[in-house]
Amino acid sequence: MTTSSFQDRVAPPGTATAGWTAALTASAASGLALGVLFPRFGWDWLAWVALLPLFIVIARARSAWQAFWGGYLAGFLFFALSCPWIATTIHHYGDLSRPVAAVVFVLFLLLMGSYLGLFAVLGYWLGNSLGHRLVPLPFLWVAVEWFRTYTPMGGFPWNLLGYSQYQHAGFMLVVPWTGIYGASLLIALANTCVAALLLHRARRTATLALPAIGLVLILGFATLPYHPPAALPRPLRARLVQPNTALGLNWTSSTLNTFLQTQERLSTPPGTPPVNLILWPEQPAPLNFELQPQFQRMSARLLDATHAAFLFEEVSYPLSALGVPNYHQPRNSAQLINADGTIGPRYDKMHLVPFGEYDPLPAWIASLGGVGKLVQDVSDFVPGSAPALLPLGPHRFAVMICYESIFPALARHNVAQGAEFLVNLSDDSWYGNSSAAPQGLMMAQVRAMENRRWLLRDTDNGITAVIDPYGRVTASLPRFTSGVLDASFAPSSALTFYTRHGDWLAFACLLAAAALALYGLGRSLWKKKNHQRLNP
């Protein structure tokens, strides 16, 4: 089928394919709809039609460029609306003026918009070879989301489409089988089916599309009231400390001592039941257990008072053979002190934050005037080399520091290796009163769902929360306050299908897209050969 005959098939008789203005307007509608799916808007019901305008643009595009720019605009607006906290963060805490911060934010949006531009142009090219541009779109959507997760420079899998339904426990029953990509695939499939009904008048197309739409709607809505039983045994107790530490403090010996005294008081509230584990979050305080005697003394008093294991975040340094710390190789680490006072294992953060904990730019780019100002305060952390399991009596658990909780593979690997519950230590004070904190909690909730594990999320200024294996927040602390959260939880050794097999669905979507591409290529070659045979 030629491009022109394809256009005739998807456009109503007697009408022309949408022009540039209509295409960009429809693409903008998709971008805006995607942007309001997540906290703090939370209009999750729009997910079932958010992609519809963009899919129609791809199906009716006159050229690859029209498809590409439509996708690019949708991606630009999507991240502009859902991630405005990036501009706030780099302005308030990156020492950048508002104009420079705005420029940097626009550069970020230009980068992130390219993912949807890539999706749209691949859908256009692949659909042309197949003679039907809608068929590959759900598989390509998941493939591009997976690529966005693990792309070079660290990846940024923030606000994947499937996360939009995180509050609907029934629909999210798919993620222990498929990971978050299964939820994204079902939503993209529903949008594709609706697009097929709108674009194709053929009865056969409608007959095939309607059952698919019905299946997705049953999964997405009929099971929404489902809630797993709450009366689960919880033999362990944890104490999550939320200090609400002020940013920008001048850390001296005196301010550090004051901080430790406050933390000790918060960690030992009188008249409370005993706990098994005390958590301190990632925070601005420059803690280092090995190099700070006052921290060691406080920890000893804390353990004597509580008889609990103690986990905290610190800046650690590798020691030379002579025991001298190498200050040129700092690590963002989670250190465990066992209940008997012995030093336990340490986990060094593996996924560092670009432009926060390391500079991903080549030296010659970072040396440029405006860029140099941006990265001058960027820390020079060294990433950890491997995950680590930490003991709590007979049980083992794993730690994710800060935004490591947005990477599905890291939590899955830890659980597959034997983690019976998960801990997320984070400092969300950098984000101010923005949507970043509730969005970070949302993604942590899905990590609990995927692996059917309790997840303890301790943050510096909120949102500190305890999440059950079905992604429900069972207890939390309000933001921008100091406080303590005591909560019970249960370790588990059962493994979900996703935990055992990983991102199998994302790989299947990649293979499906590749298979469709090969089929389309073969189809084109066969038609060309047949045409030459009939027209020598």
Tell the burial category of 181 from Cβ atoms under 10 Å away from its Cβ (0-12, 13-18, 19+).
buried
pLDDT confidence of 87, banded at 50, 70, 90?
A: confident
pTM (2 decimals)? Answer: 0.88
* pLDDT tens, residue by residue, 37-79: 999 899 999 999 999 999 999 999 988 899 999 999 999 999 9
- Look at 129 and 70; give whichever has higher pLDDT: 70
- Look at 140 and 201; give whichever has higher pLDDT: 140
| Mean pLDDT to the nearest integer, 433-441 | 90
Q: How far is Cα 213 from Cα 293, in angstroms, rounded to an integer?
A: 63
pLDDT for residue 200? 72
| Mean pLDDT to the nearest integer, 314-343 | 86
Q: Are 166 and 471 in contact (CB under 8 A)?
A: yes
> In the 8-state DSSP scheme, what is residue 273?
-
* N-to-C CA span, the chain: 20
Q: Is the pLDDT of residue 100 over 80?
A: no
Closest CA to 457 of 389, 513, 411: 411
| Catalytic residue flag (residue 402) | yes
- Look at 252 and 379; give whichever has higher pLDDT: 252
pLDDT for residue 367? 52
Q: What sections of 268-368 are H helices per DSSP?
A: 293-306, 363-366
271-296 CB burial, b ≥16 within 10 A, e <16: eeeebbbbbbbbbbbebebeebeebe
Q: Which residues neighbour 413 within 8 Å (Cβ) at sequence distance 6 or greater?
A: 387
**Beta strands 343-348 and 389-392: pairing type?**
unpaired
| Catalytic residue flag (residue 349) | yes
Closest CA to 138 of 103, 185, 208, 183: 185
Catalytic member of 402, 404, 420, 509: 402
Share of the chain above pLDDT 90, in %: 53
Q: How far is Cα 81 from Cα 76, in angstroms, rounded to an integer?
A: 9
Q: Is the pLDDT of residue 30 over 70?
A: yes
Q: How far is Cα 138 from Cα 315, in angstroms, rounded to an integer?
A: 43
- Look at 252 and 95; give whichever has higher pLDDT: 252
Catalytic member of 145, 193, 313, 349: 349
pLDDT for residue 374? 46
| Mean pLDDT to the nearest integer, 79-96 | 80
pLDDT for residue 2? 42
| Catalytic residue flag (residue 145) | no
Domains of the chain: 3-227+503-534 (no CATH), 236-350+385-496 (3.60.110.10)
Kindly state the helix (H) or strand (E) to which residue 314 belongs, with its residue range: strand 309-316
Q: Is the pLDDT of residue 458 over 90?
A: yes
Classified as helix, coil or strand, 183 is helix
